[in-house]
Structure 1
Amino acid sequence: MTIEPAAGRVTRGRARTRANLLDAAFRVFAAKGFGRVSIEEVCEAAGYSRGAFYSNFATLDELFFALYRERAELIADQVAGALATDGPDLDVPAAVDRVTEVLLLDLDWLLVKTDFLAHAARDPAVAGTLLAHRARLRGAVADRLARAHGRTPLPAVLGDADGAAHAVVAAYDGVTTQLLLDRDVEGARAWLGRLLTALLTDGRGEPVRED
């Protein structure tokens, strides 16, 4: 039997502690808001001491940024995966359905993301983190639209694939603002689906065809 080095076990244990702290922080931030949460509350929710917190994060801000990056990367990957299912042709309504399913499932994430947006608006350094995430999300959309462009032309008003990706993210921002207030996930999903389909098909419900 091979016995793993103690350092390896510590590394995995620390990674598990960090993951548990992030999960607990997500729940607490969603329930109370970032500005109303203390380190003690995060530790209590995770079942750890302050020492465990400080062995992983220097400040609550650092934890918040780590949490945001983790969730943002996951969602960007999910969007990219949802758009990668089709072959060279892009089935716009089907792709829209998959993307809205990914983007609208988690109201807690929207609350945390909104907190991060407000925080970033007051701090240029934090804003860079948010802008990088949004650029990656747009990039995933733009890449798929660009690869399908030869067979599924975009409406001229959107310009290129990058312009279309900006429109997709703007539509998502608008619909989710309403979603945060009325909590109507199905209504928001339906509206976003209609908006994105109209944007990407010139309002016809089918891809634009080149003559």
Structure 2
Amino acid sequence: MYRIHSRIGRRPTVQATTGRVTRRRARTRANLLDAAFAVFAAKGFGHVSIEEICDAAGYSRGAFYSNFSSLDELFFALYEERADLIADQVAGALALDREGLDVPAAVDRVTDVLLLDHDWLLVKTDFLVHAARDPEVARSLLRHRARLRQAIADRLARAHTPLPAVLGGTDGAARAVVAAYDGVTVQLLLDRDAARARTWLKHLLTALLTDGSGTPDHARN
């Protein structure tokens, strides 16, 4: 319930209070997500309690339940936040040039900006395992992966250089890009070498989207 403030000569208003409440709640939610990310990365989703997240964020259980109905809901909100960031990063890196999409240049941009964070990969892996055991969560995860693939496919469709025919069109190319990212991040999860992961991702994407040398197939004929 909002409090109503009044001043002499003015009509009562709830606007200022509403704005403060909204900003405070958004800040509380963001702080809970940040704290949860750190705790999940350190201990794993199945080993974390609501109390631990509240303690890490400096809030009560009441603050938690005013933003999330369960630990599962918070976990998925955290995944959505990072998944949306990755989709935006990829879409931005594949921004069209004046004549279309320059694939080799786009590969460089993708590998430069793409989120390759060890803690995120720990949380992501926990989420994949969680989704594999829960059909409803799995469906939500598949929707996010489809959104990422579509963002990539939309831009590849307007590339001014043809993609290798073996990929079977832009949808196949988008799936290959996501698969390459998944594969590289598994290696990064084990060896923690982000620089090497970016190098391998660049090689993989170049090989997938061109003839392997950075030159589109049609340019060699």
TM-score using structure 2 length: 0.89
Residue deviations 1:133-180 (CA, integer Å, cap 9, x gap):
1111111111110011xx200101001100100111111111111110
- Structure 2: 5+ residue stretches without partners: 1-6
Q: What amino acid is aligned across from residue 153 of structure 2 in structure 1?
A: A
Counterpart-to-counterpart distance in 2, 1:120 and 1:180: 19
Q: What amino acid is aligned across from residue 183 of structure 1 in structure 2?
A: R
Higher alpha-carbon deviation: 187-196 or 103-112: 103-112
Counterpart-to-counterpart distance in 2, 1:56 and 1:191: 40
1:100 equivalent among 93, 111, 116: 111
Q: What amino acid is aligned across from residue 188 of structure 1 in structure 2?
A: A
Which residue of structure 2 aligns with residue 199 of structure 1?
Answer: 208
Q: Are 2:203 and 1:190 equivalent residues in the alignment?
A: no
CA-CA distance at 1:87 after TM superposition: 2.8
Counterpart-to-counterpart distance in 1, 2:131 and 2:95: 31
Q: What amino acid is aligned across from residue 67 of structure 2 in structure 1?
A: N
Which residue of structure 2 aligns with residue 59 of structure 1?
Answer: 70
Counterpart-to-counterpart distance in 2, 1:11 and 1:115: 31
Higher alpha-carbon deviation: 2-11 or 58-67: 2-11
Higher relative contact order (CA 8 A, sep 6+): 1
- Structure 1: 5+ residue stretches without partners: none
1:30 equivalent among 24, 33, 41: 41
Q: Secondary structure at the match of 2:138?
A: helix
**8 Å CA contact 1:78, 1:102 repeated in 2:** yes
What RMSD, in angstroms, separates the aligned Cα atoms of the two structures?
1.8
Counterpart-to-counterpart distance in 2, 1:104 and 1:22: 18
Counterpart-to-counterpart distance in 2, 1:33 and 1:101: 28
Identity of paired residues, percent?
Answer: 78
CA-CA distance at 1:85 after TM superposition: 5.0
| Counterpart mapping for 1:36-115 below 5 A | 36-115=47-126
CA-CA distance at 1:86 after TM superposition: 2.5
Counterpart-to-counterpart distance in 2, 1:128 and 1:86: 34
Which of structures 1 and 2 has the bigger CA Rg?
Answer: 2
Q: What amino acid is aligned across from residue 152 of structure 1 in structure 2?
A: T
Residue deviations 1:46-98 (CA, integer Å, cap 9, x gap):
11111111111111101001111111112111110111153333222221122
CA-CA distance at 1:104 after TM superposition: 4.2
